[in-house]
Amino acid sequence: MNPTHSASTVIIANGRFPQHPIPLSMIEKATFIVCTDGAANDFIAGGGVPDAIVGDCDSISEENRKRYSHIIHPSDDQETNDLTKSVLLCVEKGKKEIVIVGGTGKREDHTLGNISLLAEYMEKAEVTMVTNYGIFTPIYRSTTFKSFRGQQISLFCIDRQEVTTRNLKYPLHNQLLTNWWQGTLNESLGDTFSVETSGRVIVFQTYA
């Protein structure tokens, strides 16, 4: 998915609300918007109208709980978080291209957890996370990405599988990355770059 394109389905998570024009444009152009429980109040207060609100409803105001009762999907399942519940709702409704915004920027443990969950979601749909700085895309096989010379690239391996890259400044050749920092701070050399792997990898690309 190209981060400059609009997305039909957007999930607004309870991290820091985006300020960059790319995620804001995605929210504006989306045809189906899901707010996690904690994100609903701020989105509504800013003039937004969600199509669904998902979670255990312990954070939404009483006013909004009543006003939007017809689109609230309550769940007290403690085995999954509100973001996962939101993704599953979208999948149930046949939404196969999903962008998550607001998934980062507050508590670091939530940020790391939300990013890692992308590796789980890709079995169900094409899910990316768009932030104020760039886009996280999970892959599980060799993939070529559109890029530009100088774009900053980081790779985060979820599985213990070898990785080979092409057209990055610091190439990897059948390398096993055993910690998340080892694949960070790379750089694209042109219009595309490739990541070859048979394991799950989360790829981060900056906007500039």
**Domain CATH code at residue 161:** 2.60.120.320
Q: What is the tens place of the pLDDT at every residue in 129-176?
A: 999 999 999 999 999 999 999 999 999 999 999 999 999 999 999 999
What's the pLDDT at 198? 94
pLDDT for position 208: 87
User: Cα separations (Å) of 192 from 60, 102, 144?
Assistant: 43, 27, 7
> In this predicted model, what pLDDT tens digit does every residue of 95-108 receive, in sequence order?
999 999 999 988 99
Residue 58: per-residue pLDDT = 76
**Are 75 and 56 a contacting pair, CB within 8 Å?**
yes
Kindly state the greatest CA–CA separation across the chain.
56
Residue 38 lies in a domain: yes
Task: Report the number of distinct structural domains present in the chain.
Answer: 2
Based on the fold, state whether residues 102 and 43 are members of the same structural domain: yes
DSSP string of 5-23, one letter each residue: S--SEEEE-SSPPP-SHHH
- Asked if 163 contacts 157 with a C-beta cutoff of 8 angstroms, the reply is yes
CATH code of the domain in which 26 resides: 3.40.50.10240
Domain that holds residue 122: 9-132
pLDDT at res. 2: 46
Per-residue pLDDT at 6? 53
Report yes or no on 2 lying in a domain: no
Q: Which regions in the chain score pLDDT beneath 70?
A: 1-7, 77-78
